[in-house]
Amino acid sequence: MGMPSQDSMTESTLPKLNNPQIDSLSPDFVKPPTQDELLYDDGIPMETYRHKLQMDLLVDPLSYWLRDRNAFVGGNMFVYFSPHQLKNHDFRGPDMFAVLDVPKGERKCWVTWEEGKSPDVVVELLSASTASRDKTEKKEIYQKRLRVPEYFWFDPFNPSDFAGFSMGSDGYEPIIPDAQNRLVSKQLGLALVQWSGVFGYADTVWCRWATLDGVLLPTEHELAQEAQQQAQEAQQQAQEAQQQAQEAQQQAQEAQQRAEGAELLLAQEQQRMEKLLAQLRAKGINPHEF
């Protein structure tokens, strides 16, 4: 791919990045490789299908929530931060991450020396085979190499293993769950919550993003359901309005009929009176003398 041989390495200095989160790139390359030159798919699937579902449940709603902002949300994607990493192949990337204040657009992988910054938030999904490394080696990378402001982990098969850390002056400090057992992300202005429900094939406890007011960021299915419900409510309101209009029209017609009936009775009464007056006059009686 874009990785040169040992013979091609020089002492030239790579451009410095204007972000203290990113390691200073050592002079291992004539020029830094781009995302098009880097490996972005190793063919290794996630640990289980539930892990895949959990990643989707974190990535997709957050992407939709950030749709009007300059931001990027990635899932199971390579994150590159150092040429040493390229040589050692010892780190691929987080299960889920979010980067704020960057241009919108698709990426094959996240390359810190191209983007100018590291992720702002990282979430790792623990498993029996990865939990130890996620809690030690990868946490160390996020804390000391990438300087990720907030790091969270969650085990889809053991929801009690749920923790978060924020960057302090001396490194990561635990994020204390609030009264609702939520882990608040100050970077995003959201909270990670545990939610019991059905997603995909499983009825279990999932990790989801929620607003600080307690509203879950909706999935695509939930958005479709909400849109369908709104359409049904709009249709029902239209039907009710049509029914009210028909009732009003019927009432107007009935009122008109009553008015026409009263007018007819008045005309008939007037004719009867005129006939009576005519009979009196015919008998020589002046009605006005009564």
pLDDT in tens, 250-264: 998 988 999 888 888
Q: What is the pLDDT of residue 35?
A: 57
Domain-located, residue 33: no
Indicate if 170 and 84 belong to the same structural domain. yes
Indicate if 243 and 167 belong to the same structural domain. no
More confident residue, 9 or 214: 214
Q: Which domain holds residue 152?
A: 49-218
The stretch 61-69 carries a mean pLDDT of: 97
Model confidence at 90: pLDDT above 80: no
The stretch 262-286 carries a mean pLDDT of: 84
Q: What is the pLDDT of residue 4?
A: 32
Q: What is the pLDDT of residue 17?
A: 37
| CA distances in angstroms from 143 to 119, 152, 209, listed in the order given | 11, 12, 22
Indicate if 157 and 249 belong to the same structural domain. no
Indicate if 259 and 197 belong to the same structural domain. no
| pLDDT bucket at 45, cuts 50 / 70 / 90 | low
Indicate if 157 and 252 belong to the same structural domain. no
Domain-located, residue 7: no
Of 188, 218, 248, which residue sits at a domain end? 218
Domain-located, residue 252: yes
How far apart CA 89 and CA 239 sit, in angstroms, is 63
Domain-located, residue 227: yes
Indicate if 269 and 207 belong to the same structural domain. no
Indicate if 61 and 121 belong to the same structural domain. yes
More confident residue, 279 or 253: 253
Model confidence at 6: pLDDT above 70: no
Both structure tokens of 66: 């950030």
% of the chain exceeding 90 in pLDDT: 51
Q: DSSP string of the chain?
A: --PPPGGG---PPPPPPS-TTSPPPPS-SSSPPPTTTS-----PPPS-HHHHHHHHHHHHHHHHHTTTSSEEEEES--EE--HHHHHH------SEEEEESS-----SSEEHHHHSS--SEEEEE--TTTHHHHHTHHHHIIIIIS--SEEEEE-TT-TT-EEEEEEETTEEEEPPP-TTS-EEETTTTEEEEEEEEEETTEEEEEEEEEETTSPBPPPHHHHHHHHHHHHHHHHHHHHHHHHHHHHHHHHHHHHHHHHHHHHHHHHHHHHHHHHHHHHHHHTT--GGG-
More confident residue, 172 or 91: 172
Model confidence at 1: pLDDT above 80: no
Q: What is the pLDDT of residue 46?
A: 64
Domain-located, residue 114: yes
pTM of full prediction above 0.85: no
pLDDT in tens, 187-212: 999 999 999 999 998 999 999 999 99
Q: What is the pLDDT of residue 136?
A: 96
Half-sphere exposure of 220 (CA within 13 A, CB side): 7
Domain-located, residue 8: no
Indicate if 184 and 135 belong to the same structural domain. yes
Indicate if 80 and 125 belong to the same structural domain. yes
Domain-located, residue 192: yes
pLDDT in tens, 231-240: 888 888 888 8
Domain-located, residue 9: no
| pLDDT bucket at 131, cuts 50 / 70 / 90 | very high
Q: What is the pLDDT of residue 37?
A: 53
CATH number for the domain that contains residue 151: 3.90.1570
